[in-house]
Amino acid sequence: MTTPKSVEKNKETFKGTLIFWLCEIMGELGIHCFVSGRTLRGLLYLSMTIISCFIIPLAVPFVMFLGKPMYGLDLIAGIMIFIVTVLVFIDAWTIGNGHYENKINGKKYRGGLWMKVVAILGLVLNLTYVVFGGYFFNMSETISNDLKTRVVTVLNAGVDDYLEKQGLFFDKEHQIGSFEQIGYASHFKYFDFIDLNAGLKISYKLNFGCPHQSIWTITPSIVDGKLKWNVTEPEDTRCSEFFPLKLNLKEK
């Protein structure tokens, strides 16, 4: 008499090596699911990976560029990667136990002890990276610091260039010049550098760390034959705290 268990044992099986390595190497993309006929599960893995590893990382700089709150986007990405990592481990463990079935033809894949060992090692390494590596959880902080550094660099570079060229022009002509007269190019990212003819007006283009269209002005004047500088910063103190001007204002 044939029992369900004997039928199960007599079922034709596949060698599970290929499907196992597809799971371990490209499991987050759902490749092993597609190959074994688990299309919906594969789409779930693939969509979560695309959202957490591509869409959210691309969205974070844009959101920060606009000065909008993050709403935990980096945390969401980390949680999604954690979920996919655990699901892939479950699949790899099931393959290693010989219980993973091809939904297309009903045949099972043969497992092995070494597969379960590799699955555990893979899980430990992946979770260590996600949890302790802090890539996703520190995403906003990393991008924020990088953008802040770039904005501060651009602001100070533009101001330093203006001070230097205005000073050189004064040494030669003994008067204050416009952008054109002193040879100042005002093409800088993140800010509009506006010619006041007798001074420089800086308008902030972003809304990151400092309100949009915040204004700095640097106006030179001639007092007792010397060039002196008057600097005004935005009323919002966040601007001077977030983007400090490092000026070398010397009388000429």
Coil vs helix vs strand at 171: helix
Same domain for 129 and 35: yes
pLDDT at 70: 58
Flag whether pLDDT at 7 surpasses 50. no
Residue 216 pLDDT class (50, 70, 90 cuts): very high
Q: Residue 74: which domain range?
A: 4-137
Does any domain span residue 151?
yes
pLDDT at 2: 47
pLDDT at 212: 84
Flag whether pLDDT at 137 surpasses 60. no
Of 107-111, 139-143, 172-176, the poorest mean pLDDT is in 139-143
Residue 6 pLDDT class (50, 70, 90 cuts): very low
168/240 Cα distance (integer angstroms): 27
Residue 179 pLDDT class (50, 70, 90 cuts): very high
Mean pLDDT, residues 197-206 taken together: 90
**H or E element in which residue 219 lies:** strand 215-223
Flag whether pLDDT at 10 surpasses 50. no
pLDDT at 67: 57
Number of independent structural domains in the chain: 2
For residue 100, the cross-strand partners are none
Same domain for 164 and 127: no
Q: What is the mean pLDDT of the chain?
A: 84
Q: Which of 145, 226, 224, 150 is CA-nearest to residue 188?
A: 150
Coil vs helix vs strand at 224: coil
Same domain for 237 and 218: yes
Mean pLDDT, residues 238-245 taken together: 82
Contacts of 211 (CB under 8 A, 6+ apart): 204, 234, 236, 238, 239
Q: Which of 87, 84, 82, 89 is CA-nearest to residue 137?
A: 82
Does any domain span residue 247?
no
Q: Are the beta carbons of 91 and 22 closer than 8 angstroms?
A: no
The better pLDDT of the pair 78, 92 is held by 92
What pTM, to 2 d.p., does this model score? Answer: 0.56
Same domain for 121 and 12: yes
Sheet of strand 200-204, all strands in order from the earlier edge strand to the far edge = 191-195, 200-204, 215-223, 226-232
Same domain for 161 and 224: yes
Does any domain span residue 85?
yes
Mean pLDDT, residues 224-238 taken together: 89
β-bridge pairing 108-110 and 200-204 = unpaired
> What's phi and psi for 213, nearest 5 deg?
65, 25
Mean pLDDT, residues 67-87 taken together: 79
Does any domain span residue 131?
yes
What CATH number has the domain bearing residue 193? 3.30.700.10
Does any domain span residue 250?
no
Mean pLDDT, residues 171-177 taken together: 92
> What's phi and psi for 204, nearest 5 deg?
-80, 130
Same domain for 179 and 74: no
Does any domain span residue 249?
no
237/204 Cα distance (integer angstroms): 14
pLDDT at 33: 95
One-letter amino acid of 189: K
pLDDT at 36: 93
